[in-house]
Amino acid sequence: MTTAKISQLSTITKLNANTSNTLFLAVDIPSGITGKFTGKTLAQGLYSNEILNVGVNQQNLPNTIAQFSLSGASYIQTNLVNTDDGGTADIVVTANTGSGGTDAAYFTDLGFANKNVQPGLEFNNLGSALSPLDGYLYVQGASVGVPSTAPGGNLIVGTTTTNTQIKFIAGGYNSSNVVSVITADGFKMVNGHPIFFTDGTTQNTAVSQTYVQSAYDKANLANTLANTANTLAQSAYNKVNTAVQNTASIQLQTLTLTGNLIANSAGQGISADTFTSNSATFNKNVVVLGNLTANTLSINDATGTVNANTIIANTFVYGSATANAMVTQLTNKSTAVTANGMSGQITMNNASLAGYAYVTFTVNNSYVQHVNDIPFVSIQNSVTTPNPYIVTVGKVAVGSFNITVYNADSGGHADAIVLNWGLMRVGN
């Protein structure tokens, strides 16, 4: 056994090996054990019962885990760098209750993106909003699938002392680059910056009282003219409503029918209260304030009988001769269906839909001839009680539209949901 003193051993100025491969000799006073331990053990336990205090000053705040202090004539700093060009460097603070404190939910992230970061990759939760060399600060609340009523997820930015403000700068760092400020009085645009609207217009000052009064006067005039037009239209209606003729060619600017308009076929038998005609030609706008029941009368391709814009209010009824489609979805709830018609019913597959989950399927329909046609859908049957489903229409394309069904319940349900749907065509 060597008799060399510790003071006579060679001096190690740097630990080049992994700290787990470096041994130290120590005496553990509480246990009274003398033995060896690794540099890794030393690093892990060095501040297990003490704060990390780096710098020239003592820790002076309560409940402090670590303190870094230094005297610098200009500034002092800590620096976090990700040396991978495709990554980000982040300082993250997480919650410790419930399901929080994960990479997916309940954290605040302050970070910076390196030059080769690919927007949309799930290295963080910013998606395509992030660009290379962007800095960011955001909060991630409840994870996907948790109801929107779950607490958390707000980002609070502000000042807590009186007579202070929040400043927003852009394009520079001088006082002239301050675009807007928020004070206790509210939001203010400064340095001559206007407010921009989505239509491309801007505004620098509030609307003047004179302008408001002028608009008010014009609105009153328009209302008076509208009342006059309505009186003339009612008079015309009263005359037409009492007339019975085989052929009527009505050349009015606007015809208002307050009764029900019923047409068995285009140009054959149009009845509104006491007004009856075998053939009626409408060359201007037609406003129907009652119910419209049509079997073979096309309201989308208004040719022959109705050569005008048609506005329909109150109830719209599809007759038995209108193309209706009743279909059953096969395989699963995301399977596409073909339902060619103006209205119909879809019985969905009874595959299970998980809680807080949604499914989307395509309805192929040759009657959808414009991307601005308007499909509408509702739930017909009363399934699981209370009914947990929410249904909406998604993307509209020529020849098809999408329907999305969402399960707003926490548990999964396997129901053959019955959907009523209809189609409002726009244009010829």
Full DSSP string of 23-74: EEEEEETTTTEEEEEEHHHHHHHTTSSS-EEESSS---STT-SEEE----SS
Write down the mean pLDDT value for the chain: 77
pLDDT category, 256, cuts 50, 70, 90? low
Query: Which candidate, 385, 391, 392, places its Cα nearest to that of 411?
Result: 385
35 forms beta bridges with 26
Instruction: Using the 3D structure, point to which of 301, 318, 335 is the last residue of a domain.
Output: 318
pLDDT category, 378, cuts 50, 70, 90? very high
- Report residue 420 as tokens: 């009523």
Whether the per-residue pLDDT at 308 is higher than 50: the answer is: no
Query: Which candidate, 290, 343, 350, places its Cα nearest to that of 314?
Result: 290
Whether the per-residue pLDDT at 179 is higher than 80: the answer is: yes
Instruction: Using the 3D structure, point to which of 318, 340, 365 is the last residue of a domain.
Output: 318
Q: Is residue 192 situated within a structural domain?
A: yes
Task: Report the greatest alpha carbon distance in the chain.
Answer: 131
SS3 (DSSP) at 127: helix
Identify the residue with better confidence: 156 or 316: 156
- Residues 328 and 398 both lie in one domain: yes
Instruction: Using the 3D structure, point to which of 318, 346, 374 is the last residue of a domain.
Output: 318
Look at residue 259 in the predicted model and tell me its pLDDT: 52
- Report residue 369 as tokens: 């001839």
Look at residue 248 in the predicted model and tell me its pLDDT: 40
Scored b (16 or more CB within 10 A) or e, 88-110 reads: bbbeeeeeeeeebeeeebbbebe
- Residues 100 and 125 both lie in one domain: yes
Helix H, strand E, coil C: the string for 369-381 is CCCCCEEEEEECC
Q: Is residue 5 situated within a structural domain?
A: no
- Residues 113 and 25 both lie in one domain: no
Q: Is residue 310 situated within a structural domain?
A: yes
CA distance 283 to 250: 7
Q: List the domain range (segments joined by +) for residue 382.
A: 324-424
- Residues 293 and 329 both lie in one domain: no
Whether the per-residue pLDDT at 101 is higher than 90: the answer is: no
- Report residue 196 as tokens: 């921009």
Whether the per-residue pLDDT at 382 is higher than 80: the answer is: no
CA distance 126 to 136: 9
DSSP conformational letter for 106 = S
Identify the residue with better confidence: 16 or 238: 238
Q: What percent of the chain has pLDDT over 90?
A: 30
The string of pLDDT tens digits covering residues 323-340 is 688 999 999 999 999 999
Domain harbouring 383, CATH code: 2.60.120
Mean pLDDT of 92-113: 80
- Residues 336 and 398 both lie in one domain: yes
- Residues 271 and 312 both lie in one domain: yes
- Report residue 38 as tokens: 């690794």
Mean pLDDT of 5-12: 78
What is the pTM for the complete model shown?
0.45
Whether the per-residue pLDDT at 403 is higher than 60: the answer is: yes
Q: Is residue 145 situated within a structural domain?
A: yes
- Residues 291 and 230 both lie in one domain: yes
What is the total count of domains within the chain?
Answer: 5
Q: Is residue 97 situated within a structural domain?
A: yes
